[in-house]
Amino acid sequence: MTNLVLLCQDPALTDWLAALFTQHAPHLRVLRPDDEGAQQAQVAVCWFPPAGSLGALPQLRLVHSIGSGVDHLAQDTSRDALVPVCRVVDPDHIQGMSEYVHWGVLHFHRGFDQVITGNITQRWRRPEQRRAQDFKVGVMGLGAIGAPVAVRLAEAGYDVRGWARTPRGINGVTTFGGQTSLHVFLEDLDVLVNLLPLTAATQGLLGHEVFQRMAKGAALINCGRGQHVNQQDLREALAGGHLRGALLDVFEQEPLPADSPLWETLGVWVTPHMASVASDACIAQQVADNVARLETGLALNNPIDPTLGY
């Protein structure tokens, strides 16, 4: 039987995963790092694995993220780059993300940010009501999640643009591909939604140059990764009035520390990485399916491209 080891920096998360597999995939042999046989595990199930933990597994044949992102694996530089990496892709994750982004766009489109701020100061002021088709929304990242999000916004009547590393066509969405088209994509956007994967090319991408291309008074919705945002540039764009607001769901350090300046930055709305998460059953099932495929020599589901990092 293939041994699985749980590798997480958070003990509470390890406990949750252990209970998850006990309930939804009891046939798997799931071990904690200190259990007998853990060092001979062939599969590592991870979320922010401790430094050196992956390199300490000489029989490792598969690294499996419990989420759709895999950038957290960079926390452990001991990982053998030749070992395949897979991620969890929950169909319901698309629904949850689409709901969150649609709410976020409405938050700025209908001026709910202004109304909530007005409540604090007891100010009665009705925001301007604009037609959805006159409100330009840009979605960065048009993969398995970004493309359906863009389609939902287009179906809601918004003027939607999409941008990705490579060109692709999406019905109802004006699409752009490649670095050379990024400036045109950003021009006069009212809201920018980030759903890009985190790579060396996208780290810190959401900064001064991007913000200045957007319409004055525009807003940012970040559901990608915290490292995509240059926080200093964001605070300056908000303080200077070029950006009106930012809805942030992901952060470089989570939970967001109490002393983070983002908590007190006017115009920033913080949500606790709640846009969408895979269900317990989905995590267990997809890991179990890939373990079975590994044992029988079949192609793995949802592998990442090591040249791209996602």
Task: Summarize pLDDT for 275-309 with one digit per residue, the tens.
Answer: 998 899 999 999 999 999 999 999 999 998 877 77
Q: Taking the domains of the chain in order of start, what are their residue ranges?
A: 3-90+278-296, 92-270
User: Could you tell me the CATH superfamily of domain 3-90+278-296?
Assistant: NAD(P)-binding Rossmann-like Domain (3.40.50.720)
225 is catalytic: yes
Q: What is the pLDDT of residues 95-153, one digit of tens each?
A: 999 999 999 999 999 999 999 998 988 999 999 999 999 999 999 999 989 999 999 99
pLDDT at 71 > cutoff 90: no
Residue from 29, 32, 273, 293 carrying the catalytic annotation = 273
Residue from 102, 152, 225, 228 carrying the catalytic annotation = 225
Whole-angstrom distance, CA of residue 9 vs CA of residue 36: 19
Q: What is the CATH number of domain 92-270?
A: 3.40.50.720
What percent of the chain stands above pLDDT 70? 99
Per-residue pLDDT band for 177 (boundaries 50, 70, 90) equals very high
pLDDT at 55 > cutoff 90: yes
Q: What is the pLDDT of residues 241-252, one digit of tens each?
A: 999 999 999 998
Per-residue pLDDT band for 10 (boundaries 50, 70, 90) equals confident
Asked if the domains 3-90+278-296 and 92-270 are classified in one and the same CATH topology, the answer is yes
Q: What is the pLDDT of residues 156-176, one digit of tens each?
A: 999 999 999 998 999 999 999
Predicted pLDDT of residue 175: 98
pLDDT at 70 > cutoff 90: no
Q: Which residues are registered as beta bridge partners of 303?
A: 86
pLDDT at 189 > cutoff 80: yes
Per-residue pLDDT band for 93 (boundaries 50, 70, 90) equals confident
What percent of the chain stands above pLDDT 90? 82
27 is catalytic: no
Query: How many Cβ atoms from other residues are within 10 Å of residue 239's Cβ?
Result: 12
Predicted pLDDT of residue 140: 98
Predicted pLDDT of residue 72: 85
Stretch 59-66: mean pLDDT:
96
Stretch 12-31: mean pLDDT:
95
Whole-angstrom distance, CA of residue 134 vs CA of residue 109: 10
Stretch 42-51: mean pLDDT:
94
pLDDT at 214 > cutoff 90: yes
Mean of pLDDT over the chain:
94
Predicted pLDDT of residue 302: 94
Predicted pLDDT of residue 104: 98
pLDDT at 261 > cutoff 90: yes
